[in-house]
Amino acid sequence: MDFLEIMQQRRSCRSYQPDRVIPREDLLKIVEAGRLSPSGCNSQPWKFIVIDTPEAKEKLCDAIVVGNGITGAPWRHNVSAFIILVEQTAKVMPAVFDHYKDTQRFAPGDIGAACMNMCHEAYSLGIDTCMIGMNDQNKMEQYFGIPHGADARLVLALGYGNENSAAKKVRKPLEEVCSFNKW
Ligand SMILES: Cc1cc2nc3c(=O)[nH]c(=O)nc-3n(C[C@H](O)[C@H](O)[C@H](O)COP(=O)(O)O)c2cc1C
């Protein structure tokens, strides 16, 4: 399949078939796509925590409720597995560090790149995904041992989507988002 066709077809999935298990072999291929991703100064400021046992998934489902029942994933209970993308402080080149000091200039973009590569690898394996941006950092630390100072920046939900899962959302037209050589 042409790579652009994958971009056109992949969509966030929010309706999963319950009780379908993703083989660990496939989960590791998806993590591999994250591991191979580019990052500023090749700092690789990430750790990927795969959550695939019923006990760990139950905790994760609780950790992505941010209070008063607010969650980015009310559909979370049928998800086959999750991957927590933990953002660490990027160790960049000294000259770059001197310029930006300890502001996290590159790491959030690095995590985004890794997550997108994982989504596309999953899609190529017939596995659907949805990124989840909300989580309770304290619960993440408590449940999964994430060290203080590292951030559970994104959670990737994975599973086999139901046929009724919604289509890809419409994008702004190309003319609106693209220009050549000036704004
Ligand atoms: C950083 C980030 C955080 C997101 N968080 C959530 C979320 O918490 N819950 C959710 O259902 N979708 C979430 N999404 C998915 C977006 O809503 C989705 O990508 C967007 O609406 C475009 O739809 P599509 O992926 O189907 O093309 C997130 C996406 C990104 C990039």
CB count, 10 Å around CB of 134? Answer: 15
Distance 94 CA to ligand 1 centre (A): 34
Strand partners, 83: 50, 156
Q: The pTM is what?
A: 0.96
Distance 13 CA to ligand 1 centre (A): 9
Tell whether 9 is covered by a domain: no
What is the spatial distance between Cα 91 and Cα 62, in angstroms, rounded to a whole number?
32
Distance 168 CA to ligand 1 centre (A): 11
Q: Is the CB of 169 under 6 A from ligand 1?
A: yes
Q: What is the pLDDT of residues 122-167, one digit of tens each?
A: 999 999 999 999 999 999 999 999 999 899 999 999 999 998 888 8
Domain that holds residue 85: 22-161
Q: What is the pLDDT of residues 20-73, one digit of tens each?
A: 999 999 999 999 999 999 999 999 999 999 999 999 999 999 999 998 999 999
Q: What is the CATH number of the domain that holds 36?
A: 3.40.109.10
Tell whether 172 is covered by a domain: no
Q: Could you report how far apart the first and last alpha carbons of the chain are, in Å? A: 33
Tell whether 8 is covered by a domain: no
Ligand 1 atom nearest to 11, measured from its CA: 26
Query: How many structural domains is the chain composed of?
Result: 1
Beta-strand (E) ranges in 28-159?
46-51, 81-87, 128-132, 151-159
Tell whether 86 is covered by a domain: yes
Q: Is the CB of 72 under 6 A from ligand 1?
A: yes
Tell whether 177 is covered by a domain: no
State both tokens at 19: 């009780």
Yes or no: say if 153 and 49 are a contact pair by the CB < 8 Å rule: no
Atom 2, ligand 1: residue with shortest CA distance: 133
State both tokens at 34: 């994250």
What is the spatial distance between Cα 144 and Cα 141, in angstroms, rounded to a whole number?
6
Q: Is the CB of 133 under 6 A from ligand 1?
A: yes
